[in-house]
Amino acid sequence: MPKASSRRSPRPLTRTAGPPRRRWPWLIAAIIIGTLVTASSGDHGLARLVRLRTEHARIDTRNAEIASDNDRLRTEVKLLREDRREIERIAREELGMARPGERIYQFGP
């Protein structure tokens, strides 16, 4: 009688039963989800970026308003330094001053 071999017969390299397991798509999806969660939270997240952009736009608007006010004030200062009629107008309207010999009449409401 031939001697029975103690060796096992080799297994086939491919699976024949059941669907193949695909782990890579799940791993890639988990990595993408983890990256998105990390990017959207924390001190350097997307929410902070949106807040900073909004604040930057608000500050730019305020800077434009201040620049406009500065231009207006520069014009007013130039008029006060160079235009004697402007000085007289302000003296009359805001300070109630008059030239010597003038009479001021004030009428009530």
User: Quick one: pLDDT at residue 19?
Assistant: 61
Q: How far apart are CA 73 and CA 92, in angstroms?
A: 20
16 vs 36: which has the higher pLDDT = 36
Other C-beta atoms closer than 10 Å to the C-beta of 90 total 14
Q: How far apart are CA 10 and CA 33, in angstroms?
A: 41
Residue 1 has pLDDT above 60, yes or no: no
User: Quick one: pLDDT at residue 52?
Assistant: 93
Q: How far apart are CA 58 and CA 86, in angstroms?
A: 36
User: Quick one: pLDDT at residue 28?
Assistant: 86
pLDDT digits (tens, 9 = 90+) for 18-73: 566 677 888 888 899 888 887 777 777 788 888 999 999 999 999 999 999 999 99
pTM: 0.50
User: Quick one: pLDDT at residue 35?
Assistant: 83
pLDDT band at 9 (very low <50, low <70, confident <90, very high): low
